[in-house]
């Protein structure tokens, strides 16, 4: 427990206290209107108080144009269908196109003359000095060593607790994870990368996952490891791919098509389990397509600032979200549907800033939820047992899993009974939907709470990234991923202890399940893409952070 607290304390504190310092990328000079420092890569120019570059003149539209900086330090200007038009060097801009502008070009908006100028040499040098003064991310070696010791101690506990039941493959899985962990950090450290806190948090949580899987069914541990390794590989691939924003934007139509097909195949060929038809089998391989669609759902919902002002883009995302929710409803997978819907609300709010619209959408969804309870009996049964699982007539029926989870989880106390020593492994889905109770019993309440803090930490980092983000695309991706993680964790934890109805949702990184593990690691790429600390992220080219 002390070692786990040490590992997470160092990683969490470093992640939340080292952040990118906002820089001045240039100035927007307005005739008789002053000089505006440009501190974002994407900026709305207009009369509205919410505009990044606010020009309080009546001839300028509320949202006149968008000024965007790109990786090569070029600036692009796009008119937002303003009333008086936007002109560059005498040429009126077409609102359907973006135009490359150079420092010193004459920009006219509503009769007001303006231009973009680069920062002075002195300011550029000051930016460099400020970057050097930023607190460096913690070196990964102490955390790596601590996690490795934790993994060795975990294997010892499992051997003592399970005896002959533990398999050589399960023990080997921990060794492979340790080797991969060291190889990952050593390789990318040699490439000049610095920030590994997110990966350290994920590796720690994945170690708990392997321990839970081994305790529940040691024959499945190696399969879980394979999914973990595929997830790490997919995360690295996504980080590299996300470096190029234009390339990332072009792949979204493909993601929509693949997601539509995946959910349709799930509807046609899906296998029902615990009331939800959310599994498909390919030979001996079983997977949940909705877990992979979550990755696409985030990327499709995100957008650059100019895309957020494009109604067609907004309508496309709304229709895609409706399709996903309809498919999940037909599958009876209302836990995942709730995750998608919550993510849609957050992403839509980030896209529009319209809080009232979000409330109306939530109210409408609540009304639809009441209809679902009326016509879907198994969902109604879960809601009927919510808050009453200790009632005698429910305890051994609908409340069986939760009452055992709470009683056995409480039996673990603060420090737990030890890996492999729990009794909850005999309860169905205790290693997936009820894994919070499983961790409480074998690892103790303290480590169970620390795991929740890991998810909260990643979410806080996503929110903090908004200040210095390269693009709204990356910040919305990070916040969307954070929303998925938070809702999943809340449903899993509160469902285990009967504060929420049991919805059959996994705990990111911790619950057993290959598709869930792969998806969790891949989702980490969105958090990495929002990390603007210098040379800290694989998803940002060196020198850009």
The CB-side HSE value for 322 (13 A sphere, CA atoms) comes to 9
Q: How far apart are CA 271 and CA 277, in angstroms?
A: 5
Q: Are residues 127 and 149 in the same domain?
A: no
Sequence-ordered list of residues with C-beta below 8 angstroms from that of 393, at least 6 positions apart, any chain: none
**pTM across the whole model:** 0.89
Q: Are residues 335 and 291 in the same domain?
A: yes
**Closest CA relative to residue 204, chosen from 143, 147, 138, 145:** 147
Report the alpha-carbon angle 241-246-250, nearest 5.
Answer: 85
Q: Are residues 81 and 148 in the same domain?
A: no
Q: How far apart are CA 330 and CA 531, in angstroms?
A: 38
Q: Are residues 62 and 170 in the same domain?
A: no
Residue 484 CB coordination number (10 Å): 24
The neighbouring-strand residues paired with 79 are 65
Helix (DSSP H) and strand (DSSP E) numbers for the chain? 20, 14
Q: Are residues 291 and 327 in the same domain?
A: yes
Q: Which of these three, 131, 150, 182, is where a domain ends?
A: 131
Q: Which pLDDT tens digits describe the chain residue by residue (545 residues)?
A: 788 888 888 888 888 887 766 677 888 888 876 788 888 888 888 888 878 888 888 888 888 899 988 766 788 899 888 888 899 998 898 878 888 888 888 999 888 888 998 877 666 666 666 566 566 788 899 999 999 999 999 999 999 988 888 999 999 999 999 999 999 999 999 988 888 999 999 999 999 999 999 999 999 999 999 999 999 999 999 999 998 888 888 899 999 999 999 999 888 887 776 666 777 877 667 788 888 999 999 999 998 877 788 778 888 888 898 888 888 888 888 888 889 988 888 888 887 766 555 565 555 555 455 444 444 555 555 555 666 666 665 556 566 777 888 888 888 888 899 888 888 888 888 899 899 999 999 999 999 999 999 999 999 999 888 777 778 899 999 999 999 999 999 999 998 888 888 788 899 999 999 899 999 999 999 999 988 887 777 877 765 65
Q: Are residues 92 and 186 in the same domain?
A: no
- Contact of 356 with 364, CB cutoff 8 Å: no
Is position 126 within any domain?
Answer: yes
Q: How far apart are CA 101 and CA 245, in angstroms?
A: 19
- Contact of 433 with 510, CB cutoff 8 Å: no
Is position 298 within any domain?
Answer: yes
Is position 380 within any domain?
Answer: yes
Is position 208 within any domain?
Answer: yes
- Contact of 87 with 93, CB cutoff 8 Å: yes
Give the model's pLDDT for residue 9.
87
Q: Are residues 186 and 95 in the same domain?
A: no
Helix 252-269 and helix 289-301, axial crossing angle in degrees, nearest 10: 150
Structure tokens at 535: 């040379």
Residue with tokens 């820089």: 23
Radius of gyration of the chain (CA): 25
Coil, strand or helix at 35:
strand
Number of domains in the chain: 2
Is position 1 within any domain?
Answer: no
Tell how far CA 500 is from the center of its chain: 22
- Contact of 511 with 227, CB cutoff 8 Å: no
Q: Which of these three, 76, 111, 131, is where a domain ends?
A: 131
CATH number of the domain bearing residue 88: 2.60.200.20
Q: How far apart are CA 19 and CA 130, in angstroms?
A: 12
Residue 34 CB coordination number (10 Å): 10
Q: How far apart are CA 111 and CA 58, in angstroms?
A: 10
Is position 227 within any domain?
Answer: yes
Q: Are residues 249 and 191 in the same domain?
A: yes
Sequence-ordered list of residues with C-beta below 8 angstroms from that of 190, at least 6 positions apart, any chain: none
Q: Are residues 84 and 167 in the same domain?
A: no
Q: Are residues 439 and 494 in the same domain?
A: yes
Range of the structural domain that residue 112 is part of: 26-131
Give the model's pLDDT for residue 138.
85
Q: Are residues 112 and 170 in the same domain?
A: no
Give the model's pLDDT for residue 346.
86
**Closest CA relative to residue 505, chosen from 282, 337, 346, 260:** 337
Q: How far apart are CA 210 and CA 155, in angstroms?
A: 10
Q: How far apart are CA 199 and CA 528, in angstroms?
A: 9
Which DSSP category does 61 fall into? -
Is position 5 within any domain?
Answer: no
**Closest CA relative to residue 524, chosen from 449, 464, 465, 462:** 462
The neighbouring-strand residues paired with 38 are 26
What is the biggest distance separating any 2 CA atoms in the chain, rounded to whole angstroms? 83
Q: How far apart are CA 119 and CA 234, in angstroms?
A: 38
Q: Which of these three, 131, 164, 193, is where a domain ends?
A: 131
Q: How far apart are CA 386 and CA 148, in angstroms?
A: 41
Is position 3 within any domain?
Answer: no
Report the alpha-carbon angle 167-172-173, nearest 5.
Answer: 100
- Contact of 116 with 103, CB cutoff 8 Å: yes
Q: Are residues 254 and 400 in the same domain?
A: yes
């Amino acid at each position: 427990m002390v070692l786990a607290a040490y590992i997470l304390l160092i990683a969490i504190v470093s992640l939340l206290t080292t952040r990118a310092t906002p820089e001045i990328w240039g100035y927007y000079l307005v005739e008789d209107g002053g000089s505006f420092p440009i501190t974002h890569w994407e900026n709305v120019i207009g009369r509205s108080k919410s505009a990044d570059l606010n020009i309080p003149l009546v001839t300028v539209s509320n949202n006149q144009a968008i000024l965007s900086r790109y990786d090569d330090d070029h600036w692009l200007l796009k008119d937002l269908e303003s009333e008086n038009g936007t002109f560059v060097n005498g040429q009126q801009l077409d609102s359907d196109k973006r135009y490359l502008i150079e420092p010193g070009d004459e920009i006219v908006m509503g009769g007001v003359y303006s231009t973009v100028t680069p920062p002075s040499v002195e300011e550029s040098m000051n930016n460099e000095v400020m970057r050097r003064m930023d607190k460096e991310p913690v070196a990964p070696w102490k955390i790596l060593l601590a996690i490795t010791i934790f993994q060795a101690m975990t294997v010892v506990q499992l051997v003592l607790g399970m005896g002959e039941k533990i398999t050589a493959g399960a023990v080997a899985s921990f060794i492979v994870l340790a080797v991969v962990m060291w190889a990952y950090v050593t390789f990318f450290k040699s490439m000049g990368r610095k920030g590994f806190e997110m990966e350290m948090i994920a590796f720690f949580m994945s170690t708990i996952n392997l321990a839970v899987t081994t305790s529940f069914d040691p024959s499945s541990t190696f399969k879980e490891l394979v999914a973990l390794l595929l997830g790490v590989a997919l995360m690295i691939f996504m980080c590299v791919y996300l470096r190029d924003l234009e390339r990332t934007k072009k792949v979204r139509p493909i993601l929509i098509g693949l997601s539509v097909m995946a959910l349709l195949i799930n509807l046609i060929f899906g296998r029902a389990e615990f009331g939800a038809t959310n599994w498909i089998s390919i030979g001996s391989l079983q997977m949940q397509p909705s877990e992979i669609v979550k990755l696409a759902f985030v990327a499709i919902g995100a957008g650059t600032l100019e895309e957020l002002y494009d109604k067609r883009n907004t309508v496309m995302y709304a229709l895609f979200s409706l399709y996903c929710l309809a498919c999940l409803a037909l599958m009876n997978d209302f836990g995942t549907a709730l995750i998608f819907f919550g993510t849609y609300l957050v992403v839509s709010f980030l896209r529009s800033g319209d809080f009232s619209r979000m409330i109306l959408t939530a109210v409408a969804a609540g009304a639809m939820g009441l209809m679902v309870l009326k016509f879907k009996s198994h969902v109604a049964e879960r809601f009927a047992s919510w808050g009453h699982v200790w009632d005698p007539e429910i305890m051994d029926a609908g409340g069986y899993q939760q009452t055992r989870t709470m009683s056995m989880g409480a039996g673990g106390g603060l420090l737990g009974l030890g890996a492999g020593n729990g009794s909850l492994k005999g309860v169905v889905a205790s290693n997936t939907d009820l894994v919070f109770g499983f961790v409480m019993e074998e690892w103790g309440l303290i480590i169970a709470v620390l795991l929740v803090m890991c998810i909260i930490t990643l979410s806080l980092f996503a929110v903090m990234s908004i200040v210095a983000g390269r693009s709204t695309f990356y910040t919305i991706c990070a916040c969307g991923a954070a929303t998925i993680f938070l809702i999943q964790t809340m449903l899993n934890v509160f469902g285990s202890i009967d504060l929420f109805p049991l919805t059959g949702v996994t705990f990111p990184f911790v619950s057993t399940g290959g598709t869930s593990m792969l998806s969790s690691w891949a989702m980490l790429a969105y958090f990495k893409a929002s990390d603007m600390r210098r040379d800290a992220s694989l998803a940002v080219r060196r020198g850009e952070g």
